[in-house]
Structure 1
């Protein structure tokens, strides 16, 4: 049964509000700016979910004096579903990565299957270094070996989360907070 975003919000808990998220992003920018000082990394936004976070993070990094070369990619395993399948590329970056430092910006690091494929692709393209900035990291013990966020803003529970780039059935990416469906709501999806 298809549910709308109003139903999802009525059946969710607020996990992180806007002020908390924006403060976390500002804090993330500091070590990133320090690590990339003196270089112009390729800043790859992972679409669609990474867009709200990446825009905010890029401005915070810029305010600290670090320039970024912008590009994006779109690779997904979900396509609107609640569980992932095979990695599907919808758009690869046009910027050559050979010899470049790369910073991937994504909304969430869950198990890491999608990010593992993206990181490997960047390395195959000759990137000198690939780092991951994720707004949220899900708390569980199912992470893919070797995939972790070099920088992250907040932790979220091991539940169906949405908002600030993450979707609920392709809805609610532009919500300025992160919510989690209740267990009962998830059973009624």
Structure 2
């Protein structure tokens, strides 16, 4: 198991976005989500664990009526490389005939987000949209992966903070940081 002593310190990482910039991105995301919902209700699905912070920032900013639930899938298992998708928990809220907003921390390769969206559609959701705090720029995204609402753009580097982790640590970093190149 990695310990804090094994982790790179935040002072050696490059801060890509300050807390104020992340908060402004959350405002923009909420405004766009409210525009889509136009006062209609929605099931917000927090993609655990990374999207806990993003979900917590977004919910008070969205004015449409929401029900909150979560879904827990992962590919990373506290590592920096993706593995096969592992499902831990499904939402308890029925999705049939409902608008669903999947909230995730990052759109990287998109395997998890695409799988969750497909699962929501299999459950009979009327409409599924995805919101991510950050979108990583590269050409390795799965073709099915997309986000309808994006807060911030980042380069193709390993990032942490605001829910994103490095070996299970630094989800609480005050900003979005990239590991040294």
- Place the TM-score, normalised by the shorter chain, in its bin: over 0.9
1:114 aligned counterpart, secondary structure: helix
1:4 matched to which residue of 2?
4
1:36 matched to which residue of 2?
37
Q: 1:57-76 to 2 correspondence within 5 Å?
A: 57-62=58-63, 66-76=64-74
1:187 matched to which residue of 2?
none
1:121 aligned counterpart, secondary structure: helix
Contact 2:137 2:153 in 1 (8 A): yes
2:55 matched to which residue of 1?
54
Correspondent of 1:119 among 117, 120, 133: 117
C-alpha distance in structure 2 between counterparts of 1:7 and 1:118, whole Å:
31
1:154 aligned counterpart, secondary structure: strand
- TM-score, structure 2 as length reference: 0.94
Deviations 1:25-69 (A, max 9, x none): 10111121011123211000011100011111111113xxx1111
How many equivalent pairs are there? 180
1:137 aligned counterpart, secondary structure: strand
Q: Does residue 91 of structure 1 match 2:89?
A: yes
1:133 aligned counterpart, secondary structure: strand
1:175 matched to which residue of 2?
173
The RMSD of aligned alpha carbons is 1.5
1:22 matched to which residue of 2?
23
- TM-score, structure 1 as length reference: 0.91
C-alpha distance in structure 2 between counterparts of 1:46 and 1:98, whole Å:
19
2:140 matched to which residue of 1?
142
Deviations 1:75-132 (A, max 9, x none): 0011111111111111100000011110001100001011111111111111111100
Correspondent of 2:129 among 128, 131, 138: 131
Shift of 1:146: 3.0
2:170 aligned counterpart, secondary structure: coil
Moved over 4 A (4+): none
1:82 matched to which residue of 2?
80
